[in-house]
Amino acid sequence: MSDVEKADAAAAAEDVSLSDSTTAHTPAAPPPQEAEAPAFQYEFAGHCPCCDTDQLFRAYSEWFRDSLVCWNCMSTVRERAVALVMNETLPNWRHLAIHQSSPSERGISLRLRECAPNYISSQYYPDQPLGENIGGYRNEDLENQTFGDCVFDLVVTLDVMEHVFHPEKAYSEVYRTLKPGGYYIHTFPIQKWRAEAAACTARLTPDGQVEHLIETPEYHGNPISDKGSLVTFYYGYDISKQIAEWAPFDVRIIRFWDQYHGVIGEYTDVTVCRKPLI
Ligand SMILES: [Zn+2]
């Protein structure tokens, strides 16, 4: 239950106890406890590019990247950043062939699913046959996809690239599946203090075991696994050139401080890769 829901529930409880106390011969109820004020609260009324309506953005933590949500569609900062870039780059996205890998079912993913008839979403279930439909998702390994060449106008991922073991394969595969002129619009954390393009934090050994290269392995939330997703790479400032070396994209990285659209805080970068027309 959110702090706001807790506050509402506490207010309702107060109303009940007050009405009870007016009944004759009923022992006086103990004084209602005041709802606990959240330690931190941020609110801003703006426009959500995911649900395309004027909405309240609200956070109960200073870590806006995960906590600053649209109170209507529950989109997060990176989802709104991708929606902004997508709207500006491909305003006709509703009519395009779109692949999203590893979506969370909220915000931008729901918007794509509802509005773009040629949207397909995939998750990766390593123990299941690739290309099959599993629970409403196509089973795809981003590094080894079963899609044909040049089939998508747009590929979208949000915070996936820091979890792949071979980003060069993933970028090459996204490139292969895009039509000429197609876009790969995606997010992943780019550490502002790190100059090097990519630092491997975990790798696969030849026999398929995970070898950790940092003392404390890092995991992020995973919509299809309670174990979370292992972070395999830290990325830094030079990643744009590195991506172009992995796959011959034209690369731009866009960074925000956009309060009106609820895109503020750390790691707002959206990386836009375009497959050249020829
Ligand atoms: Zn929204």
What would the pLDDT profile of 62-113 be if each residue is shown by its tens digit?
999 999 999 999 999 999 999 999 999 999 999 999 999 999 889 999 999 9
Tell me the CA–centroid distance for residue 223 and ligand 1, in Å.
Answer: 19
**3-class SS at 98?**
strand
The strand pair at 270-274 and 250-254 is best described as antiparallel
Tell me the CA–centroid distance for residue 140 and ligand 1, in Å.
Answer: 28
Mean pLDDT of the chain: 88
- Sequence-distant (6+) residues with CB within 8 A of 75 are 48, 50, 51, 69, 83, 106, 107, 108, 262
pTM over cut 0.95: no
pLDDT digit string, tens, across residues 198-209? 999 999 999 989
Is the pLDDT assigned to residue 18 strictly greater than 90? no
Mean pLDDT of the region 207-221: 90
Tell me the CA–centroid distance for residue 56 and ligand 1, in Å.
Answer: 9
**3-class SS at 158?**
strand
Tell me the CA–centroid distance for residue 101 and ligand 1, in Å.
Answer: 21
Tell me the CA–centroid distance for residue 272 and ligand 1, in Å.
Answer: 22
Tell me the CA–centroid distance for residue 75 and ligand 1, in Å.
Answer: 6
pLDDT given for residue 19 in this prediction: 31
pLDDT given for residue 209 in this prediction: 93
124 in Cβ contact with 106 (< 8 Å):
no
- Measured from the Cβ of residue 71, the count of other Cβ atoms closer than 10 Å reads 15
Is the pLDDT assigned to residue 227 strictly greater than 90? no
Tell me the CA–centroid distance for residue 69 and ligand 1, in Å.
Answer: 8
Tell me the CA–centroid distance for residue 55 and ligand 1, in Å.
Answer: 7
Return the closest-CA partner of residue 82 out of 46, 48, 42: 48
112 in Cβ contact with 82 (< 8 Å):
no
144 in Cβ contact with 171 (< 8 Å):
no
Tell me the CA–centroid distance for residue 11 and ligand 1, in Å.
Answer: 27
142 in Cβ contact with 101 (< 8 Å):
yes
Return the closest-CA partner of residue 18 out of 1, 31, 5, 2: 31
Tell me the CA–centroid distance for residue 60 and ligand 1, in Å.
Answer: 17
Rounded CA separation 77/263 (Å) = 5
Helix (H) or strand (E) holding 111: helix 107-115
pLDDT digit string, tens, across residues 154-176? 999 999 999 999 999 999 999 99
Tell me the CA–centroid distance for residue 255 and ligand 1, in Å.
Answer: 20
113 in Cβ contact with 88 (< 8 Å):
no
Helix-strand-coil percent breakdown of the chain, rounded to 5? 25, 30, 45
Tell me the CA–centroid distance for residue 226 and ligand 1, in Å.
Answer: 26
Where residue 243 falls (left for φ over 0; alpha for ψ -120 to 50; beta otherwise) is alpha
137 or 278: which carries more pLDDT confidence? 137
Tell me the CA–centroid distance for residue 49 and ligand 1, in Å.
Answer: 7
- Measured from the Cβ of residue 42, the count of other Cβ atoms closer than 10 Å reads 16
